[in-house]
């Protein structure tokens, strides 16, 4: 007995329709205006640095030329910086900035963490007092600062610059870290306590890794502020060997003339480390500045 099978139906191939690209939309007028304004503002801020870089590469006899770019490039201005002895002043600046940053880290971390996790009596007054100290500038307190360090025998010392820069940047670091610690849920630390961690274990294993953008933000701003500080360093240091680079660059400014190309060459070299450091961690700095704004 023959079995009749149904004929196979040839598969029907659906031809895929070619995708039609939607026409590219022109940006809105508001977007164009905002972007154009941002580029103009960026150019205004960056143009002095461009002039500084180009002037540092000019020969002495072409400083008064009206052209933006030098007709002759003198790269020896940058290499003469190391031969002038300013490399030692650059190391002093590095020591002061690094020492101030470490000092702020050691003091601001426990202060910010405790004020964020404990509602102790006087907590609000403490935070307000910290904020008030940010209003005082070293320039307005130079006489008292100099007299205090003179009595302790710390005038013309790197330690005096470290203490002053650390003290005046401590308030900003405490506020940034306090806001970031407050934005981290306490339940994460409580879970760490259940797992057998103590207070310090939960801090170093759970809280600090989550708060690292805020920590980096505080440290970078402290480092940059100490790197660029001038007035206190000019007052507290007397010998050229102990002066940071910001003060040592004044040696290129004479009574009757200014050695502009070497002054700008030293300024370029002093600016490059800060630019590189900020560019490497720019994302974490932005995240730290917005700490506590979203919960």
64-93: pLDDT as tens digits: 777 778 777 878 777 777 777 788 888 999
The confidence score (pLDDT) of residue 1 equals 44
Which of the four pLDDT bands, split at 50, 70 and 90, describes residue 293?
A: very low
Task: Compute how many other C-beta atoms are within 10 angstroms of the C-beta atom of residue 287.
Answer: 16
Which of the four pLDDT bands, split at 50, 70 and 90, describes residue 179?
A: confident
Reply yes or no on whether the pLDDT at 41 is more than 90. yes
Reply yes or no on whether the pLDDT at 22 is more than 60. no
The confidence score (pLDDT) of residue 282 equals 67
Whole-number average pLDDT of the chain: 80
Percent of the chain with pLDDT over 90: 13
Pick from 35-49, 60-74, 146-160: least confident: 60-74
Mean pLDDT of 234-243: 89
- Is-contact 192 202, C-beta < 8 A? yes
Q: What's the CA gap between 179 and 155, in Å, rounded?
A: 36
Q: What's the CA gap between 201 and 216, in Å, rounded?
A: 20
Pick the CATH number of 83-289 from 1.10.20.10, 1.10.730.10, 1.10.3720.10, 3.30.1360.170: 1.10.3720.10
- Is-contact 87 71, C-beta < 8 A? no
Q: What's the CA gap between 56 and 263, in Å, rounded?
A: 7
Reply yes or no on whether the pLDDT at 52 is more than 90. no
Higher pLDDT, 272 or 101: 101
Mean pLDDT of 153-161: 90
Reply yes or no on whether the pLDDT at 275 is more than 60. yes
Reply yes or no on whether the pLDDT at 11 is more than 90. no
Helix (H, G, I), strand (E, B), or coil: what is residue 134?
Answer: coil
Mean pLDDT of 61-66: 71
Q: What's the CA gap between 248 and 252, in Å, rounded?
A: 8
- Domain residues of the chain, as ranges? 29-62, 83-289
Q: Nearest CA to 271 among 235, 228, 207, 241?
A: 228
Q: What's the CA gap between 183 and 289, in Å, rounded?
A: 13
Pick from 7-11, 43-47, 96-100: least confident: 7-11
Mean pLDDT of 165-193: 85
Q: What's the CA gap between 191 and 276, in Å, rounded?
A: 39
Beta-bridge mates of residue 253: 258
Q: What's the CA gap between 156 and 192, in Å, rounded?
A: 48
Reply yes or no on whether the pLDDT at 103 is more than 90. yes
Which pair of tokens denotes residue 269?
């070299």
Give the orientation angle of helix 212-228 with respect to helix 260-280, to 10 degrees. Answer: 170
What's the chain's length in residues? Answer: 295
User: Could you report the per-residue pLDDT of 210-233, keeping only the tens digit for each?
Assistant: 888 888 888 888 998 899 888 889
The confidence score (pLDDT) of residue 184 equals 82
> Each residue of 65-84: b (16+ CB within 10 Å) or e?
eeeeebeeebeebbeebeee
How distant is the alpha carbon of residue 172 from its chain centre? 13
Burial grade of 45 (CB within 10 A; 0-12, 13-18, 19 or more): exposed
Q: Nearest CA to 216 among 159, 262, 284?
A: 284
């Amino acid at each position: 007995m023959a079995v009749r099978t149904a004929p196979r139906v040839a598969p029907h191939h659906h031809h895929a329709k070619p995708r039609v690209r939607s026409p590219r939309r022109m940006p809105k007028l508001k977007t164009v205006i905002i972007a154009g304004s941002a580029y103009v503002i960026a150019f205004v801020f960056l143009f002095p640095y461009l002039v500084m870089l180009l002037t540092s590469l000019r020969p002495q006899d072409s400083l008064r030329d009206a052209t933006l770019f030098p007709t002759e490039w003198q790269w020896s201005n940058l290499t003469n910086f190391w031969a002038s002895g300013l490399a030692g002043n650059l190391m002093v600046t590095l020591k002061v900035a690094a020492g101030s940053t470490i000092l702020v880290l050691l003091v601001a971390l426990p202060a910010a963490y405790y004020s964020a996790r404990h509602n102790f009596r006087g907590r609000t007054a403490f935070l307000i007092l910290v904020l008030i100290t940010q209003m005082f500038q070293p320039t307005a307190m130079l006489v008292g600062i100099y007299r205090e360090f003179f009595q302790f025998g710390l005038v013309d010392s790197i330690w005096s610059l470290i203490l002053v820069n650390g003290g005046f940047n401590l308030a900003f670091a405490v506020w940034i870290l306090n806001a970031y610690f407050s934005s981290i849920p306490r339940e994460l630390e409580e879970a760490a306590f259940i797992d057998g961690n103590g207070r310090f274990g939960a801090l170093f294993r759970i809280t600090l890794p989550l708060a690292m953008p805020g920590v980096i933000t505080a440290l970078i701003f402290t480092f940059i502020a100490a790197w660029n500080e001038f007035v206190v360093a000019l007052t507290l240091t007397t010998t050229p060997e102990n002066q940071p680079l910001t003060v040592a660059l004044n040696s290129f400014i004479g009574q009757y003339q200014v050695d502009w190309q070497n002054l700008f060459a030293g300024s370029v070299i002093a600016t490059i480390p800060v630019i590189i450091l900020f560019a490497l961690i720019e994302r974490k700095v932005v995240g730290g500045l917005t700490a506590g704004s979203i919960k």
